[in-house]
Amino acid sequence: MAVNWKELNKKQVAEDELTKVCGYVRVSTYDQIKGVSLEDQAESIRNWAKYMGYELVHIYKDAGESGASKERPAFQQMMKDAEQGMFDMVCCAKIDRFARSIRYGIEYMYHLEDLNVYMKFLSPEIDTRKPEGKMLFTMMSQFAEMEKEQIQERMDMGKFNKLSSGKFISKKPFGYDVVDGDLILNEEESFWVEKIFKMSAYGEMSYRKIAEELNAQSAPLPTARSKQWTHNTVYKIIKNDLYKGFYYYKGQLVEMEFEPIVSKSIWSRANKQRERV
């Protein structure tokens, strides 16, 4: 006679008097791009709780958060609520939603267990109240961490390839506009970037003196948050390889296919000048 595992699970739950559960759902930025949905995860948890007859006290949601990080707002709130005894079990659609770090995953599994709170994963089905459930959780956590590292490698390679083909992958730098991943000279801002390099290269002016000159001439500010030019802002521009046509990424200088604001020789000359107070 075949074992009815669903009915057996129901009986075990009744015996354990487990009634209050919470859900945890998460998507990273990469997941959002791939179409992974918070609501799809939440719906699976709601259906499971309803089927089992549990009271679903809350579903904690983290959007745009990495599973390798401990600093997830909803996750940390869930842990605090667990310490207050608000629920007996945490349900997740998959292990990689809970954590993509085996170290953090196991750490939090045992912390929850110390609070008499256990974990349930729907796919694959894992229950950490059982010894085999803990074993499977440990194994699957290792796979989740490995997959995360592989995703990061693919993303890094993709970014490197974009950079090599001239596509920009960061926020707008002063002196340029970013249009569909291409760096396009901003006429007004690039004029001032070139002037900064020439003041350093040929005027032998200190970063502080250059900043004072920019403020005196009402040069456009480098960021929306800037209140004025400072020697530190000037320093960052002069040290930035971008203005000679390169981008520093993961320890490598990538030569990009966009119009540099200054030549390599002017960039080098400006960077050889020593700060004079």
- The domain locations on the chain are 5-147, 164-272
Asked whether 182 and 168 are in contact (CB, 8 A), the reply is yes
- Please indicate, yes or no, whether the overall pTM of this predicted structure exceeds 0.85: no
* Residue 204 confidence class, pLDDT cut points 50, 70, 90: confident
Residue 13 has pLDDT above 90, yes or no: no
Cα gap 95→29, rounded to integer Å: 18
* Residue 255 confidence class, pLDDT cut points 50, 70, 90: confident
- 136/15: higher pLDDT: 136
- 208/34: higher pLDDT: 208
pLDDT at 6: 45
Residue 210 has pLDDT above 90, yes or no: yes
CATH number at 164-272: 3.90.1750.20
Nearest to 239 by CA among 203, 202, 210, 197: 197
Query: Using CB atoms within 10 A of its CB, is residue 241 exposed (0-12), middle (13-18) or buried (19+)?
Result: middle
pLDDT at 2: 47
Cα gap 112→122, rounded to integer Å: 18
Asked whether 97 and 26 are in contact (CB, 8 A), the reply is yes
Q: Does domain 5-147 match CATH 3.40.50.1390?
A: yes
- 178/159: higher pLDDT: 178
pLDDT at 173: 85
For the segment 147-155, the average pLDDT, to the nearest whole number, is 55
pLDDT at 159: 53
Residue 227 has pLDDT above 70, yes or no: yes
| DSSP-derived pairing of the beta strands 182-185 and 176-179 | antiparallel
For the segment 165-172, the average pLDDT, to the nearest whole number, is 63
For the segment 215-243, the average pLDDT, to the nearest whole number, is 91
* Residue 5 confidence class, pLDDT cut points 50, 70, 90: very low
Looking at the chain, the number of H-run helices and the number of E-run strands are: 11, 9
For the segment 208-228, the average pLDDT, to the nearest whole number, is 92
For the segment 135-148, the average pLDDT, to the nearest whole number, is 68
Asked whether 168 and 257 are in contact (CB, 8 A), the reply is no
